Amino acid sequence: MTAIHRPPARGLTPLLVPLLLGGLVVLALGVYGRAHTPTGHAVGVAGFSAALPMKAWLTTGALVLAVVQVVSALSMWGKLGIAIPPAVHRWSGRLAFLLTIPVAFHCLYALGLQYDVPRVLAHSLLGCFFYGVFTAKMLALPKRDTPGWTLPVLGGLAFTALVGLWLTSAFWFFTAVGVKV
Amino acid sequence: MSRLGPVITLAAGAVLAAGLGVASVNVTPAANTAAGGGTVTEAPAAPEESTPPAESTEPAERNTASPERTEADDKIGKADYGGYVKGNGGLIAISIRSGKAVGYFCDGRAEAWFKGSQSGDSVSLTGVRNGKVTAALGGGKATGQLALGGRKWSFVAAAVRKPSGLYRATALVRGAQYRAGWIRLKNPDGSYTSVGAAVEGDNPVPVPKLNADEPTAPLTVDGTTIYPKDVDGFIQEMS
């Protein structure tokens, strides 16, 4: 870090690289989702009857962990009055992120980015956005000189995107198709 | 750790995605050797980049993409059949995608969904609720038997192509699970015979007519928009 040369004021400059790389991730996922011919098939997590139930349950797992994320974050910022160890926040976040990977992989590899139905359009865009904002948050995390609102805003956006992703996928699947494993 | 932790997290995700990519390329069912009059699908193009890119570098997987080496030569990539069931006035449709088979029987009132698999020149499907369908494939048709509610019928279903075939829609209507199915068959004179049925929860409800020109055009049921899908659109949620 070149903190010596930088004024102590918390400007937006340190956020530039994380936001830029996050934006590139959004763009790369979207372009890949359109340019790559969907295969209709992808390797996923075993133990489910088909790809969609697998994705619905993994996304639901990630959503539950994301709620843990919000609660533990509130605790770390002293908003709850109880102390939750930071490790809870770190590991629930890591696990939630890893749970989403097989889901997103199936989406992009087997189905691609689609927009023929409003639900699918919203889901496709939110999916690309989620990984962008998550990347930005991860890259902003170790920086000590970012504005104070950086982590709450990026984390909040990631959480909001995940809720939207769950509503447009797992919730749709459980209600329109059925609750099955 | 605290400095590198977030980057490691991202890298772990990228590695997992790359692993899934390698595994998927190696098992992609290549099998688009359609038999029995079905139309041949395009071979899935080798992915230009089969992982969601995080900012770490990922191994190029193009070289491992040789779909032909799976055992799947036996599997039909894409085939659609539709025809009349002898003696009960209903229509039956069977569709195969990469060895996976779905079927639907409908006479406008009774209906049943089936799923199963194709192997060699035969398909075997079991009912989602009850019943069974078996058929032999060959000569551009599926010849077989339908068992439903303790009775048996035979059928001959010819290979069909869009817009003939099987359509399905699922949605949430007034809080209840809504499911509709349609079979469309082209008549010799160029017109279409269409039959369908819909259920809300477990109760039969009137089924909307498919758009004649574009069967997958959205329809409205009690103020809710539903989206009929062709087999490629719904086979994922069926199996």
Kindly determine whether residue B172 and residue A51, on different chains, have CB atoms separated by under 8 Å.
no
Phi, psi of A80 (to 5 degrees): -105, -25
pLDDT reported for residue A13: 87
The predicted structure's pLDDT at residue B40 = 34
- Which residue on chain A is closest to B52 by alpha carbon? A29
- Note whether B20 contacts A138, CB cutoff 8 Å: no
Across A37-61, average pLDDT: 87
Contact status of B95 with chain A (Cβ, < 8 Å): no
Residues of B whose CB is below 8 A from A89: none
Of B2, B29, B48, the CB nearest to A36: B48
Residue A139 to residue B7, Cβ atoms within 8 A: yes
**Residue A131 pLDDT level (bands cut at 50, 70, 90):** very high
Of A1 and B23, the one with more pLDDT: B23
Q: Is the pLDDT of residue A24 over 70?
A: yes
* The pLDDT value given to residue A10: 67
What's the rounded Cα separation, in Å, for the pair B67 and B46? 9
B218 CB contacts (<8 Å, ≥6 apart)? B225, B226, B227, B228
Q: Which of A31, A83, A3, A59 minimizes the C-alpha distance to B53?
A: A31
Report, as an integer, the average pLDDT of A121-144. Answer: 94
Model confidence at A25, in pLDDT bands (50, 70, 90)? very high
**Does residue B202 belong to the interface with chain A, where contact is any CB pair within 8 Å?**
no
Q: With beta carbons under 8 A apart, name residues in chain A contacting B51.
A: 105
Distance CA A131, CA A147 (A): 21
pLDDT score, position B42: 36
Q: Phi/psi class of residue B224: alpha, beta or left (left: φ > 0; alpha: ψ in -120 to 50)?
A: beta
Picking from A27, A89, A101, A130 by the largest number of B CB atoms within 10 A of its own CB, the best residue to mutate is A101
Using the Cβ of B154 and the Cβ atoms of chain A, whether some distance falls under 8 Å is answered with no
What integer pLDDT is reported at residue B47 of this predicted model? 36
Which DSSP category does B194 fall into?
Answer: E
Interface check for B32 against chain A (CB to CB < 8 A): the answer is no
Distances (CA, A) of A129 to A50, B90, B159, B180: 26, 47, 43, 33
B107 Cβ contact list (under 8 Å, min separation 6) = B85, B88, B89, B90, B91, B195
What's the average pLDDT block by block, 10 residues per block, for chain B (239 residues)? 81 94 76 36 37 38 35 76 91 93 92 92 90 92 92 93 93 87 91 91 89 88 88 84
Task: Report the candidate in A123, A125, A128, A106 with the shortest Cα–Cα distance to residue A171.
Answer: A123
Whole-angstrom distance, CA of residue B150 vs CA of residue B216: 34
CA distance B86 to chain A (A): 31
The pLDDT value given to residue B70: 39
Spatial distance between the Cα atoms of B77 and B8, rounded to a whole number of angstroms: 40
- Residue-wise pLDDT for A91-120, tens only, equals 999 999 999 999 999 999 988 898 878 899
**pLDDT value at position A5?**
55
Whether B45 and chain A come into contact, CB under 8 Å, resolves to yes
Nearest residue, CB atoms, B10 vs list A49, A111, A138: A138
Helix (H) or strand (E) holding A71: helix A51-76
B4: nearest CA in chain A? Answer: A142
H/E stretch holding B119? strand B111-119
Cα(first)–Cα(last) distance of chain B, in Å?
44
| pLDDT reported for residue B59 | 39
Fill in the DSSP letter of residue B207.
Answer: P
pLDDT at A73 over 90: yes
Helices within A77-141 (DSSP H only) = 86-106, 118-140
Cβ of residue A46 closer than 8 Å to a chain B Cβ: no
Q: Which residues of A touch B98 (CB under 8 A)?
A: 40-41
CA-closest candidate to residue B211, choices B170, B188, B182, B232: B182
Nearest to A51 among B23, B42, B236 (CB): B236
- Can you read off the two tokens belonging to residue A137? 């948050």
Task: Write the CA distances from A43 to A58, A133, B42, B52, integer angstroms.
Answer: 14, 26, 20, 14
The residues that bridge with B179 in the sheet, in sequence order, are B170, B199
Sign of the torsion angle spanned by Cα atoms B217, B221, B227, B232: negative
B227 interfaces chain A, CB cutoff of 8 Å = yes
Q: Is B67 on the interface with A (CB under 8 A)?
A: no
Residues of chain B contacting residue A51, judged by C-beta atoms under 8 Å apart: 236
CB contact, 8 Å: A151 with chain B? Answer: no
pLDDT at residue number A9: 57
Tell if the CB–CB gap between B49 and A42 is shorter than 8 Å: no
What are the φ and ψ backbone dihedral angles of B63, each rounded to 5 degrees? Answer: -65, -25
Q: Which of B181, B235, B50, B107 is nearest to A112 (CA)?
A: B50
Candidates B214, B221, B237, B238, partner chain A, best to mutate (most A CBs within 10 A): B237
